Amino acid sequence: MKTIFVVDDNTVNLVAADEVLSNSYNVFTLASASTMFDLLDNIMPDLILLDIMMPGIDGFEALKMLKTDNRYSQIPVVFLTSKTDAATKTLGKEMGIKDFISKPFSDTDLHNCIRTHLLA
């Protein structure tokens, strides 16, 4: 079973993503990027769903840290965010984001996006 990290500081989003994905994937819901990096020492996910606007390490900083570390640079990262303006999307793509899922997300959009990037 593939492993997915869902990183978001909003508990409602974490619970919703877990409910949608836990029957198909091994899901870890993480309330911060620092918690994600702690867990990466022990578990390598197949995909990371990452919120942009979080306290402490935000999504862009976390993405930069992931992409500049050879241990994690090949993990596909999808922004799961309400911040979907053109400038944000452009910057995300330049930094190596695979895709964006807008919040609030639908079950279908979430599953389709994940399937696309886990098969790529």
Could you read off the pLDDT of 35-68 as tens digits, one per residue?
A: 999 999 999 999 999 999 999 999 999 999 999 9
Domain that holds residue 11: 3-119
pLDDT recorded at residue 84: 81
Could you read off the pLDDT of 73-97 as tens digits, one per residue?
A: 999 999 998 888 999 999 999 999 9
Give the relative orientation of helices 107-119 and 11-21 as an angle to the nearest 10 degrees: 70
pLDDT recorded at residue 5: 98
Could you read off the pLDDT of 91-113 as tens digits, one per residue?
A: 999 999 999 999 989 999 999 99
Could you read off the pLDDT of 2-21 as tens digits, one per residue?
A: 999 999 999 999 999 999 99
Contacts (Cβ under 8 Å, ≥6 apart) of 63: 50, 77, 92, 95, 96, 97
For the cut 80, the answer to whether the pLDDT of residue 120 exceeds it is no
pLDDT recorded at residue 1: 93
CATH number at 31 reads 3.40.50.2300
Contact 20, 42 (CB under 8 A): no
The number of domains in the chain is: 1
pLDDT recorded at residue 83: 85
